[in-house]
Amino acid sequence: MAQQVGDPANASAGGSVRPEIISPTQEDPVVADNCEVIGGPMGVHSAGGRWWNALRVLLVLTVLGFLVGWMTKTPCTTTGWADPGRYTHLCYTDIAPLFELRGFADHVFPYIQDPLPGQQQLEYPVLTGLFMALAGFLTPSGDSGMLWFYVINSLMLAVCLGVAVIATALTVKRRPWDAAMVALAPGTILCATINWDLIAVALTAVALCLWAKRYPTWAGVVLGLAAAAKFYPLMLLGPLLILCWRAARMNAFFRCLGGFVVAWLVCNVPFMLINFDGWATFYTFSSERGEDFGSFWFVLSSLGQIDGLDISFSVPADWLNLVATGLFLLLCVGVAILGLAAKRRPRLAAMCFLVIAAFLITNKVYSPQYVLWLIPLAALARPRWRDFLIWQVGETIYYVAIWLYLAGFNDGKGLPAGWYAVAIMIHIAATVFFAVMVVRDALKPSRDPIRTDGFDEDRDDPGGGVLDGAPDRWARDPLPV
């Protein structure tokens, strides 16, 4: 049982000591065994309202982690992302090259204006495109425009990361330190500035925080904005539907859904009316692309490149869409069965993690930065550093492997296809591993670190908003435990 940090005011009044925050140095075995490097475990005085509270420390950790990631990109910022150095030095980013390739250097406004010769229409959702356009507007003209575009985008993404960390810290009351996983995850440090995923990650984290604070309409609004920046937040409506149905809280779900639809339409409809083809580029690009880096499908298609193998499996894009979507929906059915038939209603964060993980392991592409989608959900679903780091080691192996594999396209001396396929399977297996731990917690609530963190009553879903403590009115026969 975790040692609880007391409320000094309550204690001084002669009352019982009320739990204030859960300290990972006292509750998590990995942190407890290694906390001497930071001066030992936290004591009761750490919750006494001093200036260095959890949120401020988390922001410092976020800045430090982001700076470490920034420094890993230095070999590229000094050479202009030249080949093959941007791969061999593990500092690739999509941000710098798209400055010119998508017209931001020429002040082409995405979606509305047609690209200039040699450029392409922007293949990102609207809110991400507006974020990029703002960075382009702030970028000074000149020969160093690409570098400044990267710097400005990075600073804006750092703000997004800070928002994601703080929102995660505030989602589960008395467990702010779980958000340190978001700030210090190797996946966060290495992947924060590969692409613009942190926009949707931050908005999704805020939406989950608002839901936890019982503002379902506003949670839906922010989640709709997140879906206007990236597609994946839309999938979180599925777990909400299942859990609200089981808890007889459908009114909250429909309020969230209404806010989601309104926010998404407000962001997208103006661009749909002005230039539908430009707006739809993201959706047509996503449907027409074939198997791509990081996915199981890419492993199948690249088998013929491995010495000694004369077989490969390449599925046409239309069929691949059907197969990948079918497998994803099949896994979603499994998650839904878990949500409806588990002996105790699973927590919202756990269900959300499982759905997004199911999408990634069946998707046509599993880019290294997609790990950012899962990290805040993982911190809320299973805040245990051992399992978290095992998963992150797999993702770090893949991060190194993809850039070394791409380096081979320039000088032929990169990572062989066979070893790259092994790295892909490692990072998929690592995601599956963490998902299995989350499923185990749902089936055996006594193993759930949040439900058994030492408070004076058994906890239901402290990040579940209206679901927390709600009657379990849709109970089915329990799954085997």
Between the CA of residue 449 and those of 389, 426, 437, 446, what are the distances in Å?
16, 26, 11, 8
What pLDDT is attached to residue 49?
A: 54
Confidence of residue 303 (pLDDT cuts 50, 70, 90): confident
For residue 1, pLDDT over 60 is answered with: no
What pLDDT is attached to residue 467?
A: 95
Which range among 76-85, 163-172, 210-219, 349-358 shows the weakest confidence by mean pLDDT? 76-85
Region 340-361 average pLDDT: 96
Residue ranges per domain, the chain? 1-50, 51-467
Instruction: Give the dihedral sign, CA 47/50/51/57.
Output: negative
In which region does residue 430 sit, left (phi positive, over 0), alpha (psi from -120 to 50) or beta (all else)? alpha
For residue 206, give both structure tokens: 């805020």
For residue 221, pLDDT over 70 is answered with: yes
3-state secondary structure the chain: CCCECCCHHHHHCCCCCCCCCECHHHHCHHHHHHHHHHCCCCCHHHHCCCCCCHHHHHHHHHHHHHHHHHHHCHHHHCCCCCCCHHHHCCCCCCHHHHHHHCCHHHCCCCCCCCCCCCCCCCCCCHHHHHHHHHHHHHCCCCCCHHHHHHHHHHHHHHHHHHHHHHHHHHHCCCCHHHHHHHHHCHHHHHHCCCCCHHHHHHHHHHHHHHHHCCCHHHHHHHHHHHHCCCCHHHHHHHHHHHHHHHCCCHHHHHHHHHHHHHHHHHHHHHHHHHCHHHHCHHHHHHHHCCCCCCCHHHHHHCHHHCCCCCCCCCCCHHHHHHHHHHHHHHHHHHHHHHHHHCCCCCCHHHHHHHHHHHHHHHCCCCCHHHHHHHHHHHHHHCCCHHHHHHHHHHHHHHHHHHHHHHHHHHHCCCCCHHHHHHHHHHHHHHHHHHHHHHHHHHHCHHHCCCCCCCCCCCCCCCCCHHHCCCCCCCCCCCCCC
For residue 441, pLDDT over 90 is answered with: yes
What pLDDT is attached to residue 45?
A: 46
Distance of CA 450 to the CA centre of its chain: 20
Backbone angles phi, psi at 292, to 5 degrees: -135, 180
Q: How many CB atoms lie within 10 A of CB 432?
A: 15
For residue 455, pLDDT over 80 is answered with: no
Cα 129 to Cα 244: distance, rounded to the nearest angstrom = 33
Which range among 60-64, 257-261, 275-279, 348-352 shows the weakest confidence by mean pLDDT? 275-279
Confidence of residue 26 (pLDDT cuts 50, 70, 90): low
Share of the chain above pLDDT 70, in %: 85
The model's pLDDT over 362-401, given as tens digits with 9 standing for 90+, comes to 999 999 999 999 999 999 999 999 999 999 999 999 999 9
Confidence of residue 157 (pLDDT cuts 50, 70, 90): very high
For residue 138, give both structure tokens: 């702030």
Confidence of residue 410 (pLDDT cuts 50, 70, 90): confident
For residue 239, give both structure tokens: 């777990």
Confidence of residue 142 (pLDDT cuts 50, 70, 90): confident
What pLDDT is attached to residue 217?
A: 98
For residue 48, pLDDT over 80 is answered with: no
Region 67-75 average pLDDT: 95
Confidence of residue 174 (pLDDT cuts 50, 70, 90): confident
For residue 92, pLDDT over 80 is answered with: yes
For residue 352, give both structure tokens: 């959300």
For residue 43, pLDDT over 60 is answered with: no
More confident residue, 14 or 93: 93
Which range among 40-54, 122-136, 390-404 shows the weakest confidence by mean pLDDT? 40-54
Confidence of residue 34 (pLDDT cuts 50, 70, 90): low
What average pLDDT is seen over the chain? Answer: 87
What pLDDT is attached to residue 336?
A: 96
Radius of gyration of the chain (CA): 23
What pLDDT is attached to residue 33?
A: 58
Confidence of residue 313 (pLDDT cuts 50, 70, 90): low
